Amino acid sequence: MKRRDFLKLSASAGVGLGAVATLPPFSAAYAQAKTVFKAADVQPAGYPTVAATENLGKKLDAATKGRLTVQMYPSAQLGAEKETIEQTQIGAIQLLRVSAGALGPIVDDINVVNMPFVFKNTAHARKMMDGPVGQALLDKITANANAGLVGLCWMDAGARSVYNTKKTVKTIDDLKGLKIRVIGNPIFIDMMNALGANGIAMGYDQVFGALQTGVIDGAENNPPSYVFSNHYTAAKHFSLTEHLIIPEVLAFSKKAWTALSADDQALIKKFAREAQMEERELWNKYEQAAMEKAKAAGCEIVEIADKAPFQAAVKPVWDKYGPKYQDMIKRVQEIA
């Protein structure tokens, strides 16, 4: 069976939530029914977000004595981010790890964290995730009537930088004319164009093939994604522009969430918060391993000594998108 056919079948059948979907909450049968939550991630097995979600599932299984469990589908088995968001919205997938970049077009408030250079560094971004601003943004996901999602927690994804197959990029002028893949969010396309490159929106699962065939000259992502999705084998020039620090979101299908008891909801939220902190520890090690592997493979890792020209170049993006988020941006920038 082709994956697209499987996706249609899954969506129509509401796979994975049979007990919750057909039994009323708080009934005796509901309390005893075994429910398997389908969890999706585009990243491969062993990736920090995948491992942390799997650990959440193990804790949930133990705490409910097997009544609630999680089945993980990594490596885009259930589709790319856009497809898995849609499936989560209708309840065919219950648990989804997705980039805030991909969520921005659905929950506009989340675009605050998608603004280029909005964070000083990754430490600043982590303080946002762990504090009241982070919770306020998760609440905006949950409150969005059209999203159909419940924002559970943040997961670290480090800083994103540019890599390409063509040449060394040391200055902003070196980006001119390069076709660089970005997440399908208008902010990112405008950002890359402002930097002098040509921003090309493309699904993450298509990037490796596009690099190999020359459809794109490069992409932008964090070191683990660069290495462990094998992009580094095609694009040997990695420049640490760190233009974006986009956190990941672990979300639950609202359709499935409303069928859970308040106790089960609280349990999932508790384990999600723990997963947020566990993923960060895994991330630190994974990022270091990725950089070491890239260097060992002969990739050119370029430090950008002066990022001021890059920051100045994206001013039109801030002028276009910044005003609508100014209150939340102010809260983010005031985080000490």
Identify the CA nearest to 257 among candidates 133, 89, 98: 89
Whether the per-residue pLDDT at 92 is higher than 50: the answer is: yes
115-136 pLDDT, tens digit each: 999 999 999 999 999 999 999 9
- The confidence score (pLDDT) of residue 8 equals 42
**Amino acid code (one letter) for 146:** N
Whether the per-residue pLDDT at 9 is higher than 60: the answer is: no
Q: Which residue has the higher pLDDT, 265 or 18?
A: 265
Q: Write the burial class of residue 82 (CB in 10 Å: 0-12 exposed, 13-18 middle, 19+ buried).
A: middle
In this prediction, residue 335 has a pLDDT band, given cuts at 50, 70 and 90, of very high
Q: Which residue has the higher pLDDT, 8 or 144?
A: 144
Does the predicted TM-score (pTM) go above 0.85?
A: yes
- The confidence score (pLDDT) of residue 305 equals 86
- Average per-residue pLDDT for the chain: 92
Whether the per-residue pLDDT at 105 is higher than 70: the answer is: yes
Whether the per-residue pLDDT at 104 is higher than 70: the answer is: yes
168-223 pLDDT, tens digit each: 999 999 999 999 999 999 999 999 999 999 999 999 999 999 999 999 999 999 99
Whether the per-residue pLDDT at 60 is higher than 70: the answer is: yes
Whether the per-residue pLDDT at 331 is higher than 50: the answer is: yes
In this prediction, residue 270 has a pLDDT band, given cuts at 50, 70 and 90, of very high
What are the tokens at 201?
Answer: 């929106």
278-324 pLDDT, tens digit each: 999 999 999 999 999 999 999 999 999 899 999 999 999 999 999 99
31-40 pLDDT, tens digit each: 468 999 999 9
- The confidence score (pLDDT) of residue 336 equals 86
CATH architecture classification, 3-157+246-285: 3-Layer(aba) Sandwich (3.40)
Whether the per-residue pLDDT at 14 is higher than 70: the answer is: no
- The confidence score (pLDDT) of residue 109 equals 96
- Given the candidates 3.30.1490.100, 3.40.50.1220, 3.40.190.170, 3.40.50.720, the CATH classification of the domain at 160-245+287-333 is 3.40.190.170
Domain ranges, ordered by start, for the chain: 3-157+246-285, 160-245+287-333
